[in-house]
Amino acid sequence: MIPKIILGKGPQATRRTIGYLFGKGRANEHVDPHLVASWNDFAPDPGRSPHRDPKEVEAQLAAQLDQPVRMLGDKAPKYTVWHCPVRAAPEDPILTDAQWADIARRIVAAAGIAPAGDEEACRWVAVRHADDHIHIAATLVRQDGRRPQRDYDQRAVQREARQIEVDYGLRRLKPGDGTAAKRPTSKEHFKAKRLGQDATSREILRLRVRRAMAAASTEAEFFALLEATGVTVRLKLGPSGDALGCNFALPGDTNDKGEPVFYAGSTLAGDLSLPQIRRRLTTTSPEPATVRPGNPWHQATAATERIPHHLTRSSDEVAQGQLAALGAAFDLLPLTAPATVRAELARAAVAFERATRSRIAADDASACALRLSVQAIWKDPSRHGDGAGLAMLLDVALTAVAYAMHWHRTRQHAQQQAAAEQTLIHLQAAYVQIAGPVLTGLASRAPSPQTQRRYAHHLKQAVPEHAERILTDSAWDALATVLAEAEAAGHNPSAILDRALSQRTLNDAHSPARALTWRIRRLGERHAPGPRAQAANAQHTALNPTASHPQKPQARRR
């Protein structure tokens, strides 16, 4: 059950609200508007007065609601109307008018609009439009002339909605912490539909601003990237001329006067205000940290592989910074990925966006390596054109998101936990599409059975607890291939396998064989020995054939 509070102001606010509630709606969706409850239980009902002009009844109802406001005259508050739509989930049972009336009374009581038993409370009505929702409208002056005590009414209403879900057996939503991005309004949804857009302007802008922030190293680059994607930026200047905030608009999104519709960054999401954007850019600019020259896919994978360690061993601030950086990586990946998985990766990014924000302040500086390496990928995604780079990154990202889900669960971040769970579904779907062809290609170049037996022998000694699972995995041929390629490049296959095993436990790997395949491929390319080392290693192996699979040291036993 989703309640949402909207405030109205101006001398005609009540009349406008009542006119909308009993009108046809913006798309003729108001089929049978009628009262289900009111402050005194006998307010005039424009939807159930067949012998009177409905407009006349609407005016009468608005006048009665407005009476306490008019009594204050010039001392009336700026905002005079409290409007709260309450919607049930599509799978919920259809509630009766009496049940909706009870829900409305509980909502206005929780909000401080009309506490139970308070005869001098604000005047309010609940209007039902359809089977699945009602609208509650109240005026924000009590009948004794005082203002209602509605501090933190949004949180109070949400808490009551969670209890209503329990009491009525409705779909139970996750409790929030006030860090979620603002949802698009019904008006914005109708406008998007009218314009033929799949998403609202608010959602499109949020995605474009997040991508620009993830890709930019400086404030100037951030604004240039937005301009390149067609976003209009309007800065809010202070008396000194310094920019204090920024608003964003999409081309073609105009109001009835033909003017661009601007959205403040802070209303797109709490971390998209100009101060927050500047803080993020400051901690990810090249000055505080740089990524060493090398394959950015490998560097991003290594940084992502360290996220579970940070989530279990580091401070909450560092962990939050890691999650924010992972979210930025997801924002950019669809722009670098093959067309076949872009949509799935985009859905993963949108889902994980909710998991990147909590009330814990993020230590963004701790995640510079991941941010900078993903920026490098975005600037030159051509490396690893066969998809191996993306596959190995997604492989470790799946584990990182699983740890993020657990991290949020232990801190009772219900919405963030649910977002991480949803992200896993989309990431897994993208990973299967990307990794499948790469693994098949590697398996087609599998070394001889004799070579595979040699690798299997060392594997059984190195990780006996995982060996059987790895050797029977469909990815074993691909793993044998990358070991053979590493050996051909001058590596000792036993040593590189040991190094891959020492990087991180395989206990939480969905497929240990795949995890080792990506690790060894990364290590084989990143740490290839020079020509002299290769020659020495080849000579040593020729003189001592057993050197390619030495006994595992006692100290490394698990």
147-201 pLDDT, tens digit per residue, is 999 888 988 999 999 999 999 999 888 777 778 888 887 788 888 888 888 899 9
Q: What is the pLDDT of residue 531?
A: 55
What would the DSSP string read from start to end of 286-326? TTT--PPSS-HHHHHHHHHHTHHHHHHHS-HHHHHHHHHHH
In a domain, 537, yes or no: no
User: What rounded mean pLDDT belongs to the chain?
Assistant: 87
Of 283, 311, 335, which closes a domain? 283
Give the residue among 281, 387, 280 at the shortest CA–CA distance from 336: 387
Token digits of residue 265: 């960054």
In a domain, 173, yes or no: no
Same domain, 73 and 218: no
**Helices 476-488, 414-443: inter-axial angle, 10-degree rounding:** 70
Query: Tokens 């005590």 label which residue?
Result: 149
Give 326 or 550, the one with higher predicted confidence: 326
Q: What is the pLDDT of residue 140?
A: 96
Greatest distance between any 2 Cα atoms in the chain: 107
pLDDT at 384 over 60: no
Q: What is the pLDDT of residue 287?
A: 45
Give 282 or 76, the one with higher predicted confidence: 76
In a domain, 177, yes or no: no
| Mean pLDDT of the region 468-496 | 92
Span of 181-195, 324-338, 408-422 with lowest mean pLDDT: 181-195
Q: What is the pLDDT of residue 553?
A: 33
pLDDT at 118 over 90: yes
How confident is residue 208, by pLDDT bands cut at 50, 70 and 90? very high
Percent of the chain with pLDDT over 70: 90
Q: What is the pLDDT of residue 441?
A: 93
In a domain, 132, yes or no: yes
Point out which residues pair with 38 in neighbouring strands.
Answer: 125
Of 398, 413, 439, which closes a domain? 439
Q: What is the pLDDT of residue 544?
A: 44
Token digits of residue 194: 């009218």
Same domain, 145 and 11: yes
| Mean pLDDT of the region 299-303 | 92
In a domain, 176, yes or no: no
Quote the distance between the C-alpha of residue 413 and its chain's center.
13
Pairing state between β 232-237 and 133-139: unpaired
| Mean pLDDT of the region 271-293 | 71
| Mean pLDDT of the region 327-339 | 94
Quote the distance between the C-alpha of residue 407 and its chain's center.
15
Q: What is the pLDDT of residue 315?
A: 96
Cα-only R_g, the chain: 30
Same domain, 384 and 517: no
Same domain, 452 and 430: no
Q: Are 401 and 348 in contact (CB under 8 A)?
A: no
- Could you tell me how many helices (H) and strands (E) the chain has, helices first? 22, 9
Q: Are 67 and 76 in contact (CB under 8 A)?
A: no
Q: Distance (Å, rounded) from C-alpha 453 to C-alpha 145? A: 87
pLDDT at 143 over 70: yes
Q: What is the pLDDT of residue 214?
A: 94
| Mean pLDDT of the region 530-538 | 52
Give 415 or 238, the one with higher predicted confidence: 415
Point out which residues pair with 82 in neighbouring strands.
Answer: 7, 138
pTM for the complete prediction?
Answer: 0.75
Same domain, 454 and 432: no
Token digits of residue 235: 């800065």
In a domain, 375, yes or no: yes
* Cβ atoms within 10 Å of 146's Cβ, excluding its own: 13
Q: What is the pLDDT of residue 289?
A: 46
Same domain, 459 and 384: no
Domain that holds residue 311: 291-439
Q: What is the pLDDT of residue 26?
A: 64
Give every CB contact of residue 164 below 8 A, 6+ residues apart in sequence.
1, 103, 106, 170
Same domain, 278 and 205: yes
In a domain, 152, yes or no: yes
Same domain, 355 and 434: yes
Give the residue among 490, 349, 373 at the shortest CA–CA distance from 427: 349
Locate the DSSP E strands across 339-400: none
Q: Are 301 and 398 in contact (CB under 8 A)?
A: no
Same domain, 279 and 298: no
Query: Tokens 């299997």 label which residue?
Result: 456
Q: What is the pLDDT of residue 280?
A: 86
Of 439, 473, 504, which closes a domain? 439
Q: What is the pLDDT of residue 89?
A: 87
Query: Tokens 């108001």 label which residue?
Result: 30
How confident is residue 381, by pLDDT bands cut at 50, 70 and 90? low
Token digits of residue 332: 């950019």
How confident is residue 65, by pLDDT bands cut at 50, 70 and 90? very high
pLDDT at 447 over 80: yes
Same domain, 272 and 315: no
Domain count, the chain: 4
Same domain, 142 and 240: no
In a domain, 456, yes or no: yes
SS3 364: helix
Same domain, 161 and 248: no
Give every CB contact of residue 175 below 8 A, 6+ residues apart in sequence.
158, 159, 162, 414, 415
| Mean pLDDT of the region 289-296 | 64
Q: What is the pLDDT of residue 241?
A: 78
What would the DSSP string read from start to end of 182-227? PPPPHHHHHHHHHHT-SS-HHHHHHHHHHHHHHH-SSHHHHHHHHH
Token digits of residue 32: 């049978």
pLDDT at 551 over 50: no
| Mean pLDDT of the region 51-74 | 94
